[in-house]
């Protein structure tokens, strides 16, 4: 349930009574970033955070902002894609790439926001230097295999025609 407004300020005034050194206007200004000195104009989140701080409750530690993590992951995936690695539902190859000690040394899903930012800089550097050798080598080997397969198929087809008496006349 979303709370937009606080209607009972009893908690705040009880805390204020316990801490006479705190001035109401000053503390409200501080928690509204200078927007107001009135409790009724505070957002519920600001009010609750203010009361928790006065009580001495530690701020809950939150996981990295989901939006920030999503942006960082997208940035990394974009650069991995620029290096020639398929990033569409290809998590095994992405993990294999990230597990390399020269890249990140961890699976992609285990990387935090700071590690992802570092990885973006590293991938940009790799891109600016011309990409990955092994990707190009792998592509060349695949091209060679395809060419060899085509050549062998052509040879087989030609030899089968030559051994067929119908084509010899």
pTM: 0.45
C-beta atoms surrounding 48 within 10 Å:
15
Cβ neighbours of residue 106 closer than 8 Å, sequence gap 6 or more? 98, 99, 115
Distances from the Cα of 149 to the Cαs of 18, 53, 138, 153, 161, in angstroms?
Answer: 85, 72, 16, 6, 18
Q: What phi, psi does 150 have (nearest 5°)?
A: -65, -45
How far apart are alpha carbons 87 and 98 in whole angstroms? 12
How far apart are alpha carbons 120 and 1 in whole angstroms? 38
- pLDDT tens string 129-169: 887 775 567 667 778 888 888 988 888 887 777 776 665 55
Whether residue 139 contacts residue 125, with contact meaning beta carbons closer than 8 Å, is answered with no
- pLDDT tens string 23-69: 999 899 888 888 899 999 999 888 998 999 898 887 665 555 788 88
């Amino acid at each position: 349930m979303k709370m937009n407004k606080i209607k009972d300020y009893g908690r705040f005034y009880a805390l204020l009574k316990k801490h006479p050194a705190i001035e109401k206007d000053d503390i409200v200004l501080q928690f509204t970033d200078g927007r107001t000195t009135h409790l009724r104009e505070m957002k519920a989140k600001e009010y609750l955070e203010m009361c928790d701080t006065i009580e001495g409750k530690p701020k809950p530690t939150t996981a990295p902002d989901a939006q920030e993590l999503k942006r960082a992951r997208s940035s990394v995936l974009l650069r991995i894609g620029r290096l020639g690695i398929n990033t569409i539902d290809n998590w095994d190859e992405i993990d294999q790439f990230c597990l390399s000690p020269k890249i990140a040394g961890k699976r992609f899903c285990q990387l935090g926001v700071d590690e992802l930012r570092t990885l973006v800089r590293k991938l940009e550097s790799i891109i600016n230097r011309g990409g990955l050798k092994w990707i190009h080598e792998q592509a060349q080997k695949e091209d060679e295999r395809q060419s060899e397969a085509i050549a062998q198929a052509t040879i087989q087809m030609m030899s089968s025609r030559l051994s067929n008496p119908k084509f010899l006349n």
